[in-house]
Amino acid sequence: MAKQNKAIGIDLGTCNSCVAVYQQKRVHIIENEAGSKTTPSMVAFTSAERLIGEAAKNQFMLNPQNTVFDIKRLIGRRFKDDTVQRDLGLWPFRVVRGKKKKPMVEVEFKGFTRKFSAEEISCMILWKLKKTSETFLKAKVRDAVITVPAYFSDAQRQATRDAATIAGLNVLQIMNEPIAAAIAYGLDNKSNSSSQAKFILVFDLGGGTFDISLLSIKKNVFKVVATDGDSHLGGSDFDNNLVDYCSQKFKQKYNGDISRNPRALRRLLTACERAKKCLSSAMETVIELESLSEDKDFRITITRTQFEELNMELFQKCIKSVDKCLAGAKVLRSEVEDVVLVGGSTRIPKLRQMIQRFFRGKELCNAINPDEAVAYGAAVQAAVLIGHRIDLTVMDVTPLSLGIDVEGDLMDVVVPKNTSIPTRKEVLYTTSLDNQAIINISVFQGERAHVEDNYYLGEFTLSGIPAAPRGEVSIAVCFEIDGSGILKVSAEHKNTGVRSEIVVNSEDVGGLSKEEMERALIDAERFEVEDEEIKKITVKRLDFEKYSYKMRERVRQEKLKGLMDMDEIENIEKYVKEAIEWAEGHDDAECEKLDEKMQELKTICNALVWTSCTDSDDSQGSHSDKEESEVES
Amino acid sequence: MDKTTAAVKSQAAFRGFCVRKPQPLKELRVIMKTKAEAAEMRRRLIDCHLVDLIRRDEEEQLKITECIMSLLLRLDAIQGVNSFVRESRKAVTCELVNLQ
């Protein structure tokens, strides 16, 4: 039914993003314009243009202050959150406090200082992925499933949803990454027969983050049971360990210190990263760098065992997290049916071996490229949602408890943590004062007893309660969470039917308000227009340069022929030379200026074209030109 | 051993050889290309006007070092070199490092 309408699955990662589509009964990972299947989640701003993905990454060293990455660590968070404050020092770009305590990224863009919210930056990445898939599918793409980590709060999910909306995507579902990975392996179908819940462990070790999620599946319904991990552990840590080791060896051998030589370190880091990848398949590899520092050559053989020893501490940390996660959920390791590996660093053989040993030799799910597994699952889910197959329902859970404040600023939990959604819970409350006509209900999210320690989501009032002694009135408060995790809280006085409700939406959880959303949408469109404009200018520039070089060549030929007036030819030559220099010196020329210059150059060079045409008389168009000028004279 | 197995085996061996065989010429070509680019860079750096600009402008300086860096990384990426290739690579690397 929905043949024309393709829905994509997007894995919006911290370091890299990936997009996939389900077509012709299989999932296709869509390559970007550079031919790689993952796109760096990076956006760069320069004095002339905005760059996204590979282009942004390539110019990172030239422009670190205005290259934004790791935006996933900011999205949906507040400026004063501990994690944000901790990460602030690690980034070369500036993060400032914006409206409503939101963190904003401050960059120099086209000569102006501009602030962007995390949603806007994410939107640019999503927009790029959308364009990539549109180029691949040769059709407009609207519907998408986007994945987020299992531990993301409502605010973070909502912010991701906002970002997608600005990018012009219709979000079918915000999905948990581990569930997407499990779906990619078809673990949902495997459980069809058994009615008992079974457990799946998803081990995700990516470029910068490490997440463990324990899922349970029962009759095609997924639940996230527990999560654990480390937000700052990933592939680059292994590289750094190797770099440290190498620089130590270098010091021993030559007594030279390279830790203060950034250029040498960069060469070493690149070589170490390559060595690490190599060691996943080979038993040993050679790092060979000539003239690394002070004309000293560096050559070292790294064996797989050495590499494993260097990183053993990190590996063990990973396994401990798995243990902790299982212990927290009170699940025995023998109860885990499947173990799914996600993220590039799970290619390391030692790590695989350790996980396998931990689960007593269980076969691991590693058939799908671990970089793409999440996008793969998201694409399957997207296809399901637009009606390709219907034998699957995914159910998420609330990552944190939801409740309201009661007397004494205490948190009264209405929807406990890990309740599967969609859900609807109703609780009866009563007034705390005599003749209380108005009741104020604040909604919180979190596990702490006092509301001020929890995350404030919003509040609303129910008025028009009939006068009665305290405790006599009963008010039903109802929490409703829909399939994509959006919360609606309502309160109703049962006898009179007075009702009031709140949808905990973007604005209330610190996401984007309607106006901000509209502004961002306009910005997004404008940027698209600007990007188009830049493309147009580039084409014009190239045309101009091509034409002037062609004319230079022509002048040279004419000179050799010697048929034309020497003065005239030199005049033209001078002019062409000037034009070439002008083009080299004006990278940022505007469209009209280029048009003007082109026109000028053409007028001057016409004489050339004209004379040569009278010689060879090969072109109809020029021929008529000649006739016209004759008529004029 | 039946015919198909034999065919598969010999083809696998051949293709494996194709992938693994040393390709000094290919490597040398990359080195020569880099060398030419390095020479071009050196030529540009002789230009007093540009040197002056680089001294004054941090951004220009960064651009040049980045160019040299990318050439260096390209050289470093050449794998499995024999002694002959290594020597020529070393020469170019030295030149580039000195340019820095």
Instruction: Name the B residues in 80-99 with CB < 8 Å from any A CB.
Output: 81, 86, 89-90, 93-94, 97
Nearest-angstrom CA–CA distance, A325 and A285: 35
What would the two tokens of residue A432 be? 């705390």
Sheet of A336-342, strand order: A221-230, A210-218, A198-205, A336-342, A364-365
Contact list, B76 vs chain A (CB under 8 Å)? 267, 270-271, 288-289
DSSP A289-336: EEEEETTEEEEEEEEHHHHHHHHHHHHHHHHHHHHHHHHHHT--GGGE
Each residue's pLDDT tens digit, A96-133: 988 878 899 999 888 888 899 999 999 999 999 999 99
Residue A577's alpha-carbon distances to A537, A542, A581, A604, in angstroms, are: 21, 16, 6, 12
What are the residue numbers of the active site of A?
Answer: 11, 72, 177, 204
Nearest-angstrom CA–CA distance, A148 and A163: 13
Please state, as a whole number, how many other Cβ atoms lie within 10 Å of the Cβ of residue A50. 19
**A61 in contact with B at a CB cutoff of 8 Å?**
yes
The upper half-sphere exposure of residue A588, i.e. CA atoms within 13 Å in the direction of its Cβ, equals: 6
The CA distance from B65 to the nearest CA of chain A, in Å, is 9
What would the two tokens of residue B63 be? 């651009």
- Distance from CA of residue A564 to its chain's centroid? 61
Q: Are A224 and A395 in contact (CB under 8 A)?
A: no
- Rg over alpha carbons for chain B, rounded to the nearest Å, is 21
Element (H, E) at A205: strand A198-205
Each residue's pLDDT tens digit, A451-463: 776 777 888 888 8
Contact check, Cβ <8 Å, A290/B100: no
Each residue's pLDDT tens digit, A240-281: 999 999 988 888 888 878 877 888 888 888 899 989 988 988
Across chain A, mean pLDDT equals 81
Each residue's pLDDT tens digit, B19-36: 777 777 788 888 888 888
Nearest-angstrom CA–CA distance, A332 and A329: 9
Across chain B, mean pLDDT equals 78
pLDDT at B100 over 80: no
What would the two tokens of residue B100 be? 């820095």
Give the pLDDT band of residue B52 (cuts 50, 70, 90): confident
What would the two tokens of residue A251 be? 């010091």
- Among residues A574, A581, A579, A593, the alpha carbon closest in space to that of A547 is found at A579
Nearest-angstrom CA–CA distance, A229 and A238: 17
DSSP A540-574: HHHHHHHHHHHHHHHHHHHHHHT-S-HHHHHHHHH
pLDDT at A87 over 50: yes
Q: Which residue has the higher pLDDT, A369 or A189?
A: A369
pLDDT at A624 over 50: no
The CA distance from A276 to the nearest CA of chain B, in Å, is 14
Structure confidence at residue A536 (pLDDT):
78
pLDDT at A63 over 90: no
Q: State the residue for tokens 């671990």.
A: A370
Peptide bond into A422 cis (omega under 30): yes
**A265 in contact with B at a CB cutoff of 8 Å?**
no
A62, A291, A295 ranked by CB distance to B62: nearest: A62
Q: State the residue for tokens 């280029």.
A: A594
